[in-house]
Structure 1
Amino acid sequence: MLPVIIVGAGPTGLALALALAGHGIPSVVLDGSDGPPAARPARSVVLAPDVARWAELPGAHRESAAWAGWRTVRRGRTVDTHAFGPTDAPRHLPQHVLEATLRDAVARQELVRLARGHRLTDFERREGDVLAHSVLRPTDGRREENRQWRGGYLVGCDGARSTVRKLLGVPFPGRTAVERYAVAALRAELPWPEEAALHRGLTAGEVTVRPLSGERWRLDWPLPPDEGLVTPEALLARVESTLADLGGGTPPPYQLLDTGVQVCHQRLARNWRVDRVFLAGDAAHLLGALGTQQVAEGLRDAENLAWRLAVASRLGYGDGLLDGYQQERRGAVGRRLRAVDQALPLVRGRGGLGGRLPGRGRGRLALLSDGHLGRGTLGGPPDYGGAARRGTGDVATTPRVGAPVTDVPVTALDGARARLRDRLGGPLLLVLTAPGARVWDARHWLSAGLMPELAAVAETLDLPAELLVTEEYPGAGAHTVLLVRPDGHLAAWLPGAHPDALREAVRRLRGTTPAPAEPTGGR
């Protein structure tokens, strides 16, 4: 089997290689960087629950903070709070920690080859494969080494200045510097430990305060569009003023760890797939304004693309399956960017669009919080509705096809119990809602009810599938069968084990059968 060639060893490229390995697909990662990123605690990432598993890898777990809650404060008065539970808390960690953790995991993975120092120079798209050309620039004074790499597919995860995108000639339209933030990371004892907060009306203006691990915090102050260079003295004054307000007039003792300025761009590549070549992460999109999370979107790209490439590599399915990556991910990121464009005039008072914004009734503070809280169009997980057939029934109360699955407890056929998200990243999942399944031992219900028929159907599907059981699932009645994709999105649901309907749903998922028209009515 030909490997997938991945260009770029940032979070998206490394996560894609690991996700492919989870499907048994080899990959080569061309790492043209000068080495691991510098330790910058002020450059951090927030991972929502649907991608939080990447922060739970050994190494990252110790350095990531799971938020206990969110607090919105205006002029010293709390106007909104939100408590997180163990399954829905965002995880916050420095980006260099995430990258180091992914690199360690790649080094332990036999199916991934990390080609350090190899910079892509060109590639050839051929009928049955891709031939990539790289150059290795040694650090010991030896001559450059040219190398060719043959793969089944090539994925450009090589950043905003992507060589892959430029070689493809794909336009990258958008806007530059839609927002700027002064950023500081510090160690201190602040009010509301383990809670993130948005403060408005402080002496230093608006600030977002987000906890890291070990009593460390990241503080972000939005900068006016006409403000020039942020001097170290001005940034230190912001820190002192903010801490004084948070401490009731006297700043608590603190240790300043890192500072910087974050510039948020908005760009979206015109095409994310050209034949056997794909774009992902910063090579495909840029965002970050109003709390939107660029790294999290890159991880979603990797998860969405990995299972498609795995199926295509193993079974030879092509365009319908692979086109779904661009349709779903480019559409989801495009909706996020449009939401930012709509919200900015309202929350920052720029332009005259505020009166026409659909989210105006929710208020400025709610819109400023959504990206951090992981809700709404600014922060919520992507919904690929319409990507596959929904089941029958009331669309307002039944499971939403294309939406992320709810993380319910599940039981495997061997009796092992886990959370549904813990079983993602491998084969398709067939989840049967069977009330009482936790009461009876697995060996009893394996031969009862729908289980024998469903187990037999699972063996005949065109794609590998694992059968799980759950006591209940939101909106699904007893004996409902849920078809869950490896990236955690609901592909279909059926009221019972209907072999032909289930096989048809899998055929649509792999892209060999056209999806029927979306039913009329509300979603």
Structure 2
Amino acid sequence: MDPVIVVGAGPVGLALSLALARHGVPSVVFDAGDGEVEPRAARTCVLRPDTAAQVAQVFALGGARWAAWRIERRRQPVRRVELDADTSPVHLQQYALERSLRAALERESLARIVTGARLDELEQDGRGVAAHTRGPDGTWWRGSYLVGCDGARSTVRKLLGVRFPGRTSVERHAVAALRVELPWDGEALLHREVPGRGDEAVARPLPNGVWRLDWLLPPRGELVTPEELLDRIRGTLTAWCGEVPPYELLDTGVYTAHQRLARRWRAGRVFLAGDAARLLGALGTQPVDEGLRDAANLAWKLALCWHRRAPEELLDSYGAERRGAVGARLRALDQALPLVRGSGGLRTLLPGGSRGRLDLLTDGHLGRGPLGAPPRYESSPPAPDEYTVPGAVEVGTAPGAPVVDVPVTALDGTRERLWQRLGRGLLVLLVAPGTQVWDSRHWLSAGLMPQLAAVVERLPPAAELLVAESYPGAAAHTVLVIRPDGHLAAALPGARTDELRACVEAVRGAVARGPAGDGKGDEGGEGGEKRGTGEDATGPGTGRSGRPADRP
């Protein structure tokens, strides 16, 4: 089959191409630039622990983990949240992430980056996609699928005629990257009403003694001059350190957060991901992390369909899950912004209103609550229900939620953390107390292992069998079926062969949900869009020109 075409060489497009290669799917990445990554020190991203762990499988991620999250108001400490390796996000410059992803892709024989490739025409039919890139002669490319990861001004989205409604400039920040020594070594700070400044500032550590500082601005205020920014830097450092300490100014900028959600994330064989599909970023929400979740969700589904191991209907679940999750995040932001940024009114009548604001500000930055916690895919088509797997049991992780990163042992005796095994295929995890004490050759032929290993080996999509000493809320001999993106499909009481197979069939979209197969519903979030029809503003299965994509 033809490769998958990925339009856009930012973190999301590069991560998607890399994930596809790990699933054995070739891809071509269109890079509209010259392949050089601009080193902007003030342009950073925060990755949740589970996202960072999956990225770190491929290369040394680097970045800084925070020892704590501090909140101060004026000169008084308000709260301090202790963080550890399981709860601290990873903060790094976006250019460092992009360079590492590019380097990893250069080692992949199944991936290719084409520089200077600007998409200007798109066509599709039932067999694939044709994409035309600008140039002196122009070039047509043939792909099996195409994914638009080309940012907020996405050409792919425009060619599909997909609407992008939402709100503009809901939050605005002045940003600076400094090399400086601050009083809180390795701790991030949210400071409300900075003395002498009267505004809100956030300080987040980066590697090598660098800090990113953010100052909240009026959403639609005047331009920030270099002199005004320097005044903010000096005034804030004086408030924190008693005087202006020695510092090196590395980079500055103004960051504006918008809220938008594309009406549809799929049109036939064409998909949207990352900023092309949605915009967020207010109250500490993390667009790069959300984009990497888009890539992880879509990659394994595209791979199963590309290898013809799953029906095309499985691809409908990408929009149902990711658009639904981001839509919920945006609704939570709409509800939180008046409470956090407003003054007076209903907020003053809410009990514990001040504490609620601090909780909401913490949630977005630390990946907690409705503003930051990883999504739960509990009712999408790949999620087995009570009719598909009637014997499922409850464990500490709800169905559809990300699994806990417990120590695991592979059949070859390799011992790692669970998140380190994600991203290649389905995982089947047996909870077997005592297995960590013994060498794997002693328990491979004992108890449930022979039967379970035989079943897993014959599953239609590739799956790996792992063993864990324990798992939160799981009894001995519980079997967990885990999707490649780390979300729990179901937990079963032992090696129930038929139910395990039924669960895997549901995950790959090969069975209907519910007693009458009526669980497919509309694509998640607002808009009530049709699912899986391959229709857009120009009609079924065509590009903007309406011509069939029959090029070689």
Which range, TM-score by smaller chain? over 0.9
Q: Secondary structure at the match of 1:240?
A: helix
CA distance in 2, matches of 1:475, 1:242: 47
In structure 1, C-alpha distance between the alignment counterparts of 2:191 and 2:313, rounded to whole Å = 47
Which residue of 165, 168, 182 maps to 1:173?
165
Deviations 1:310-346 (Å, cap 9, x if unpaired)?
A: 0001025334310110000001111111111111101
- CA distance, structure 1, for counterparts of residue 356 and residue 32 of structure 2: 45
Residue 389 of structure 1 corresponds to 384
Over residues 163-198 of structure 1, what are the superposed CA-to-partner deviations in whole Å (9 max), with x where a residue is unaligned? 111111100001110000011110111112111111
Output the CA distance in 2 between the equivalents of 1:516 and 1:188: 58
Considering Cα pairs closer than 8 Å and 6+ residues apart, tell me whether 1 or 2 has the greater RCO: 2
Match of 2:250 among 257, 261, 266: 257
Number of the residue aligned with 1:364: 357
Instruction: Specify whether residues 113 and 464 from structure 1 end up closer, same or farther in structure 2 by C-alpha distance, changes over 3 A only.
Output: same
1:45 aligns with 45
Match status 1:213 vs 2:213: no
* Separation (CA, whole Å) in 2 of partners of 1:491 and 1:12: 24
The corresponding residue for 1:121 is 120
Displacement of 1:352 in angstroms is: 5.0
- Which letter maps to 1:385? E
Q: Structure 2: how far apart are the matches of 1:225 and 1:156? A: 29
Q: Does 1:25 align with 2:25?
A: yes
Percent sequence identity over matched residues? 59
- In structure 1, the partner of 2:281 is 288
The answer (yes or no) to whether the contact 1:156–1:280 under 8 Å persists in 2 is yes
Find the counterpart in structure 2 of residue 192 from structure 1: 184
Deviation at 1:373, TM superposition (A): 0.8
Which residue in 1 is equivalent to 2:500? 502
Report the secondary structure of 2:113's partner residue.
strand
For 2:148 and 2:221, the matched residues in 1 are separated by: 35
Q: Give me the whole-angstrom Cα distance separating, in 2, the residues matched to 1:417 and 1:294.
A: 33
SS in 2 for 1:166: helix
Q: Which residue pairs with 1:242 in the alignment? A: 236
- CA distance 1:351–1:32, change in 2 (3 Å): farther
Q: Post-superposition shift, 1:93? A: 0.8
1:53 deviation in Å? Answer: 3.4
Q: How does 1:78-477 map to 2 (within 5 A)?
A: 78-136=77-135, 144-203=136-195, 204=197, 205-247=199-241, 249-315=242-308, 317-349=310-342, 354=347, 362-387=355-380, 388-389=383-384, 398-477=396-475
Quote how far apart the aligned CAs of 1:100 are: 1.1
Q: State the Cα distance separating 1:135 from its structure 2 match.
A: 2.0
Q: What SS does the aligned partner of 2:200 have?
A: strand
Which one is further off, 493-502 or 35-44? Answer: 35-44
How far did 1:159 drift?
0.9
Residues 91 and 438 (structure 1 numbering): CA distance in 2 closer, same or farther, change over 3 Å? Answer: same
2:27 is aligned with what amino acid?
A: S
Q: Please name the residue that 2:530 is paired with.
A: none
Q: Deviation of residue 81 (structure 1)?
A: 1.6
- With structure 1 as the length reference, what TM-score do the two structures score? 0.93
Paired position in structure 2 for 1:480: 478
CA RMSD between the two structures: 2.0
Whether the 8 Å contact between 2:59 and 2:104 is mirrored in structure 1 is: no
Letter in 1 for 2:85: P
Paired letter, 1:444 = H
Paired AA for residue 439 in structure 2: D
Shift of 1:58: 7.7
One-letter code aligned to 1:296: D
Question: Following the alignment from structure 2 to structure 1, what is the Cα–Cα distance between the partners of residues 446 and 434?
Answer: 12
Distance 1:17 1:500, change over 3 A: same
The residue aligned with 1:141 is none
Partner Cα distance (1:263, 1:300) in 2: 22
Q: 1:442 to 1:57 in 2, by over 3 A?
A: closer
Q: Residue type of the partner of 1:12?
A: V
Matched residue type, 1:193: D
Change (3 A) 1:189 1:11: same
The equivalences for 1:58-69 within 5 A come to 61-62=61-62, 64-69=63-68
In structure 2, distance between residues paired with 1:454 and 1:57? 27
Rounded Cα–Cα distance in structure 2 between residues aligned with 1:423 and 1:276: 29
Deviation for aligned residue 1:251: 2.4
* Cα displacement (A) at 1:353: 5.7
Gapped regions of structure 2 (runs ≥ 5): 520-552
User: Which amino acid in structure 2 is aligned with residue 43 of structure 1?
Assistant: R
Distance in 2 (alpha carbons) for counterparts of 1:349 and 1:157 = 34
For 1:90, the aligned partner's letter is P
Q: Report SS of the residue matched to 1:233.
A: helix
SS of the residue corresponding to residue 118 of structure 1 reads coil
Distance 1:308 1:12 in 2: 16
1:114 and 1:321, CA in 2 relative to 1: closer, same or farther beyond 3 A?
same
**Any conservation in 1 of the 2:392–2:492 contact (CA below 8 Å)?**
no
Letter in 2 for 1:407: D
CA contact (8 A) 1:343 1:357 kept: no
The AA in structure 2 aligned to 1:78 is P
The number of aligned residues is: 508
Q: Distance in 1 between matches of 2:512 and 2:33?
A: 42
Does structure 2 conserve the Cα–Cα contact (< 8 Å) formed by 1:182 and 1:221? Answer: yes
Cα offset, 1:33, TM superposition: 2.1
Aligned residue type for 1:439: V
CA-CA distance at 1:225 after TM superposition: 3.1
Q: Which secondary structure state, in structure 2, belongs to the residue aligned with residue 78 of structure 1?
A: strand
Deviates more, 1:360-369 or 1:492-501: 360-369
CA distance 1:266–1:351, shift in 2 (3 Å): farther
Counterpart contact for 1:68–1:84, Cα < 8 Å: yes
| Alpha-carbon separation, structure 1, partners of 2:308 and 2:59 | 35
Q: With structure 2 as the length reference, what TM-score do the two structures score?
A: 0.88
Matched-pair contact (CA < 8 Å) for 1:433–1:479? yes
Shift in Å, 1:350:
6.0
